[in-house]
């Protein structure tokens, strides 16, 4: 749909330097309004159909596995498996190129895939403070970032991302499962000074970038509008750490899901 509708975004040297120093970056636009509208159709279908639920690719990030209550933070992993055309979008192309620039990796060496997190109007849950790397294989040292595209205006009240500047330069903090329930997929760290948080409200079609080790959070959605986000995790070749990291909070199921997610990433 986008061959006639290309839309090229570039970053300045200052923006790249800001990302490397602070571990995050916010830009007002990464794709067109037209494409955002098209993406909403796919997005809503994936969540209405609960696509991939049987294979563990649809679940509530904030609730215990397969609970029957109200879902407050539903997530779809690897939507590109169902809709390969998601890889042909203006968003995907811009995200891929900008990720290569920010990470300092040749574009051909960048690979990755997506997930979608929905915050329902009025009761969408907080995504508590965490580092993405805390979810991942401790035997790998990733060189990656997330690109976060809201399909709806993202404000502090609807759940835009918030970051702790420079936290990507430190270690992966101690994490635990939300509600201390190992059946809940989502992780949280208490090792964070929230007074340092910087909120990044952006319009629909804008984007924030964060390094895989940057501490981030988004508030509950208290607005009357849904907050749909489509995230791409993109990275260059990972390295092997000197010794595997110690992440005892990872459950077997979580490791399996992380693998599923990395498979989605590897398929790029
Ligand atoms: Ni995250």
pTM attached to this predicted model: 0.91
Say how many Å lie between the CA of residue 216 and the centre of ligand 1. 6
Compute the distance from residue 65 Cα to the ligand 1 centre, in Å.
19
Cα of 132 vs centre of ligand 1, distance in Å, is: 5
pLDDT grade for 116, boundaries at 50, 70 and 90: very high
Closest Cα to residue 187, out of 245, 254, 113, 124? 254
Q: Which residues contact 88 (CB under 8 A, 6 or more apart)?
A: 1, 2
DSSP single-letter state for residue 132: G
Backbone angles phi, psi at 159, to 5 degrees: 105, 45
Q: How far is the CA of 3 from the centre of ligand 1 (A)?
A: 31
Residue 95 scores a pLDDT above 60: yes
User: Which residues fall inside 5 Å of ion ligand 1, going by CB?
Assistant: 132
Q: Which pLDDT band holds residue 252 (cuts at 50, 70, 90)?
A: confident
Give the domain ranges of the chain.
13-267
Class of domain 13-267: mainly beta
What is the 4 CA–ligand 1 centroid distance (Å)? 33
């Amino acid at each position: 749909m986008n061959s006639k509708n290309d839309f090229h975004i570039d970053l300045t040297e200052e923006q790249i330097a800001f990302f490397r120093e602070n571990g995050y970056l916010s830009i007002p636009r990464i794709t067109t309004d037209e494409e955002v509208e098209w993406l909403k159709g796919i997005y809503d279908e994936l969540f209405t159909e609960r696509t991939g639920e049987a294979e563990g690719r649809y679940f509530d990030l904030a609730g215990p596995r397969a609970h029957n209550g109200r879902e407050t933070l539903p997530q779809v992993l690897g939507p590109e498996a169902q809709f390969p055309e998601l890889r042909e979008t203006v968003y995907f192309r811009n995200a891929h190129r900008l990720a290569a620039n920010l990470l300092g990796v040749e574009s051909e060496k960048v690979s990755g895939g997506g997930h979608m997190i929905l915050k329902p109007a009025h009761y969408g849950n907080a995504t508590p403070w965490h580092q993405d790397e805390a979810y991942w294989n401790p035997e790998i040292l990733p060189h990656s970032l997330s690109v976060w595209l809201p399909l709806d205006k993202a404000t502090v009240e609807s759940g835009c991302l918030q970051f702790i500047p420079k936290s990507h330069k430190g270690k992966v903090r101690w994490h635990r499962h939300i509600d201390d329930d190992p059946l809940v997929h989502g992780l949280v760290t208490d090792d964070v000074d929230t007074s340092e948080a910087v909120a990044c409200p952006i319009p629909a079609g804008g984007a924030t970038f964060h390094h895989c080790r940057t501490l981030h959070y988004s508030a509950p959605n208290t607005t009357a509008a849904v907050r749909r986000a489509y995230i791409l995790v993109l990275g260059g070749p990972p390295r092997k750490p000197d010794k595997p990291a110690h992440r005892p909070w990872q459950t077997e199921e979580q490791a399996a899901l992380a693998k599923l997610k990395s498979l989605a990433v590897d398929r790029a």
